[in-house]
Amino acid sequence: MGGMKTLMAAAVALGLLSAPGTGTAADGHHGAVGATVDELVAIAKAMNPEIQVMALEAEAAAAKVEGAGSLMDPKIQVVYEDWPKNRTGGDLPSTSTSGLTKKFRVSQELPFWGKRDLKREIAEAGARKAAVLKRAVENDLVAKVKVAYAEYHQAHLAIDLARNLLGRMDTLAKLAGARYAQALGRQQDVTRATVEKAMLDSEIARMEAEKRKARARINRLLGRDLAAPLVEAPNPRPIPAREALDLAALTERAQSANPELLAQEATIDGAERSVALAEKSWYPDFEVGAGAVRRAGDITSYEAMVTMNVPLQWGLRNSDIGEAKAMAAAARHQRKARENELGNEVQDAYFSLEADRRVETLLRENSLPQAEIGFQAAAKAYELGRTEFLDVLMAEQQLWKTQIELLKVGLDQQMRVAEIEKLVGGEL
């Protein structure tokens, strides 16, 4: 069943990769994907190699459950008794087998009551842990995809802003050249405009490289070729409203649904069953059997057998029980420690998100409008010959700095939301 689910997920991902309008090649790995982050997440879950490995490990752990509580294979024993020595002398047995007593036995080992159930429960705990660990890897992968997608979106926006500003600087450079030609301006103004345009060109080239790196990160997470194309108009996820996020509820959700904690709970369950199994080692196991005795070609009698081991190795059993109890206690302490860490991490991400919201509000409602007005005013004043070109450059650089800060705080919010979702183990 687990293998069928994996196959179906892969088929869904291939369907996304080959959907109409994506320009997909025959191998299903070269189409432009990424219209939304949800599309990338679905592909990553189905195609990422690490997820596939964890899925197979989970299937292996689940397959182990069925045989964990099974009985050992029965034994068949054939015994020859009263085999005389060779009459011609020596210690070798006679070559004749006539007159021998032949015994045929079938026996079965039977663990003490409850041991088989405990072994099965230990295996079930291991299977649950493997399944949750797969979820934990998926959870981490989804967060990485979301962050990489936000970086890809930011790179696109930054390039668009830089090109827009470059166009405006090109207009100013032409104006500076015209003013200089009419002896109304200075050569330094033309030089400064040319240098500033070159700096913007360099910044665009740097951001193009950042965009390619973000694309490569996304493709690596999706298990695609690093140069495979992505949609060139990324659609970022909306940030949840402040009213939709409650710190206490998020903390409670993280401490109850985080995959790491669920995996540790399965570890605790298995460790407690291991303690119970170790304590049952004081009780004996049995072996029962039955057989037939054959003499002179006829079955002359039957026999029955019951064997019981005697648990006298006190040191061995005390050692096993002590080890199992220590492992169970360690698992409980690890879970408690991780639960406390999760509370702190959720709190840090929540307050960082709130700080980013406030910074964005200040930038968008105050700093950015003022920087835009300042740049436009400086450009107009220079056109009318009322200010120096250096004032225009200072206003332009302030506008560019404010725009980049606004993009950065937007990326920070996307990263904080992805971090919170990773901690709580699901979408907000």
Q: Does residue 40 form part of some domain?
A: yes
pLDDT in tens, 247-280: 888 888 888 888 888 888 888 888 888 888 888 8
> Which residues, at least 6 apart from 292, have a Cβ–Cβ distance to it below 8 Å?
103, 104, 299, 301, 302, 303
Task: Say how far apart CA 270 and CA 256 lie, in whole Å.
Answer: 19
Find the helix packing angle between 2-17 and 37-47, rounded to 10°. Answer: 140
Dihedral sign for Cα atoms in the order 189, 190, 191, 196: positive
Round to the nearest angstrom and report the end-to-end CA distance of the chain: 30
Handedness of CA 15, 17, 22, 26 (dihedral sign): negative
Strand-strand pairing, 101-110 and 286-295: antiparallel
Q: Mind listing the pLDDT tens digit for each residue in 80-120? A: 877 767 666 666 666 666 667 788 889 888 888 888 888 88
pLDDT surpasses 80 at 4: no
Ordered strands of the 286-295 beta sheet: 75-81, 101-110, 286-295, 298-308
The answer to whether residue 14 sits within a structural domain is no
Q: Considering only 7-21, 54-68, 341-355, which range has the smallest mean pLDDT?
A: 7-21
Query: What integer best gives the mean pLDDT of the chain?
Result: 81
Give the CA distances from residue 99 to residues 82, 87, 295, 297, in Å, rounded to whole numbers and listed in that order. Answer: 8, 15, 7, 8
Does the pLDDT value for residue 174 go beyond 50?
yes
DSSP string, 36-101: SHHHHHHHHHHH-HHHHHHHHHHHHHHHHHHHHTPPPPPEEEEEEE--PBPTTSSSSBPS--TT-E
Is the CB of residue 147 less than 8 Å from the CB of residue 217?
A: no
Contact 389, 379 (CB under 8 A): no
The verdict on residue 87 lying in a domain is no
CA-CA distances (angstroms) from residue 267 to 54, 209, 329, 349, 418?
A: 17, 45, 11, 28, 27
Q: CA 352 → CA 13, 253, 338, 357, 414, distances in Å?
A: 34, 19, 21, 9, 11
Question: What pLDDT is recorded for position 359?
Answer: 92
303 belongs to a structural domain: no
The answer to whether the beta carbons of residues 227 and 214 sit under 8 Å apart is: no
Q: Is residue 179 part of a domain?
A: yes
Q: How far is CA 19 from CA 22, 130, 176, 221, 230, in A?
A: 6, 33, 51, 20, 14
Between 204 and 312, the higher pLDDT residue: 204
* Burial of residue 405, with CB atoms counted within 10 A of its CB: 0-12 exposed, 13-18 middle, 19 or more buried: middle
Query: Percent of the chain beyond pLDDT 90?
Result: 4
What's the pLDDT at 323?
A: 81
What is the count of structural domains for the chain? Answer: 1
Judged by DSSP in three states, 200 sits in helix
Residue 316 pLDDT: 77
Q: What is the pLDDT of residue 20?
A: 37
Structure confidence at residue 99 (pLDDT)? 67
**Residue-number span of the structural domain to which 337 is assigned:** 36-70+113-282+313-424
| Residue 229 identity | P
- What whole-number distance in Å separates Cα of residue 180 and Cα of residue 187? 6
CATH of the domain at 412: 1.20.1600.10
Residue 24 has pLDDT above 70, yes or no: no
Residue 224 lies in a domain: yes
pLDDT digits (tens, 9 = 90+) for 337-391: 888 888 888 989 999 999 999 998 999 889 989 988 988 888 888 777 777 778 8
pLDDT in tens, 391-420: 888 888 888 889 889 989 999 998 999 989
Instruction: Give the pLDDT confidence of 138-173 residue by residue, as tens digits.
Output: 888 889 999 999 989 889 898 888 888 888 778 877
Domain contains 201: yes
Q: Say if residue 23's pLDDT is above 70.
A: no
The predicted pLDDT at position 28 comes to: 40
Residue 20 falls within a domain, yes or no?
A: no
